[in-house]
Amino acid sequence: MSELSSEAIISPDQLADVLKRHGMDFDTVRIELLARYVNRLWRWNRRVNLTRHTDVESFVCRDVWDSWQLSECLGPSEEILDVGSGGGVPGLLLAILRPDLEVAVCDSVGKKASVLDDLVSHLHLPIPVYAARAEELVEEFRFDSLVARAVGPLPKLAKWFQERWHNFGRLLAIKGPRWVSERGEARHLGLMHGVQLRKLKVYPMLGTESESVILELRRQTGRGHGS
């Protein structure tokens, strides 16, 4: 881990300018942490495939923007598990933007979990890293919310947690325009039985004509057959 160069690829001031241009005016502490995070991530990305967002514009417009939108859907001091965190989005960014949250991250791919360990250590964040599948972790630990971005379509997510919705509060999934067809496929496969789905938030996908959504999935209570 220590073999990585410490040379900055982007400065906090450069990052602050791009963030502000897109309406994200964070305080100095958060901007410095975001800069340290992305510099470390990009250096790791040369060895391990972690992200396609390898310039400051795409980092801000995709990773930070999505994480910021998601952060506004979470209550004070929620216990969060980032499902298949990869390079740490949205989990590590949520921990930076919302230090009140109790965030944990997981990835079943050993190399990626090792990178997450290094990122957490580099940023001095109080975040447990699990080299395990989220389905296994919810059997052992209780989380208020699971969060997921770019780890699989809705049918796959629904299948992973099909017998486990009672083990956690809810799943928040960041999705693009294909979410409607994914929901239809999940329904067709019978994976939405007993699951309540609602569109929690809609926001623009910066730099495009498309929209992103944050979907909330949780166990159905009372009557009904899911969404």
The CATH number of whichever domain residue 81 belongs to comes to 3.40.50.150
Residue 155 lies in a domain: yes
Domain span holding position 156 = 63-219
Residue 25 lies in a domain: no
Query: How confident is the model over 177-206, as pLDDT tens digits?
Result: 999 999 999 999 999 999 999 999 999 999
Residue 100 lies in a domain: yes
Is the sign of the CA dihedral 165, 205, 85, 93 positive or negative? Answer: negative
Query: How confident is the model over 136-146, as pLDDT tens digits?
Result: 999 999 999 99
pLDDT at 223: 56
Provide the pLDDT confidence category of residue 165 given band limits of 50, 70 and 90.
very high
Helices (H) and strands (E) in the chain, counts: 9, 7
- Look at phi and psi of residue 207 and say left if phi exceeds 0, alpha if psi is from -120 to 50, else beta: left
Beta strands in 71-161 (DSSP E): 79-82, 102-106, 129-130, 143-149
Residue 16 lies in a domain: no
Give the strand pairing for 129-130 and 195-204: unpaired
Query: How confident is the model over 21-63, as pLDDT tens digits?
Result: 999 999 999 999 999 999 999 999 999 989 999 999 999 999 9
Is-contact 53 87, C-beta < 8 A?
A: no
Q: Count up the domains in the chain and report the number.
A: 1
pLDDT at 2: 44
* Token couple for 175: 């999705």
Cis peptide before 177 (omega within 30 of 0): no
Residue 105 lies in a domain: yes
CA distance 170 to 195: 10
Query: How confident is the model over 207-216, as pLDDT tens digits?
Result: 888 999 999 9
What are the C-alpha distances in Å from 170 to residues 52, 138, 219, 220? Answer: 28, 11, 8, 11
Is-contact 105 130, C-beta < 8 A?
A: yes
pLDDT at 225: 47
Is 224's pLDDT higher than 70?
no
Tally of CA atoms within 13 A in the half-sphere of 13 that contains its CB: 0
CA distance 135 to 227: 22
Q: What is the pTM of this model?
A: 0.93
pLDDT at 5: 62
Residue 1 lies in a domain: no
Percent of the chain residues topping a pLDDT of 90: 90
Residue 92 lies in a domain: yes
Residue 79 lies in a domain: yes
Is 73's pLDDT higher than 50?
yes
pLDDT higher for 52 or 4?
52
Query: How confident is the model over 82-109, as pLDDT tens digits?
Result: 999 999 999 999 999 999 999 999 999 9
Dihedrals phi, psi of 129, to nearest 5 degrees: -115, 125
Residues paired with 204 in a beta bridge? 211
pLDDT at 87: 95
pLDDT at 209: 87
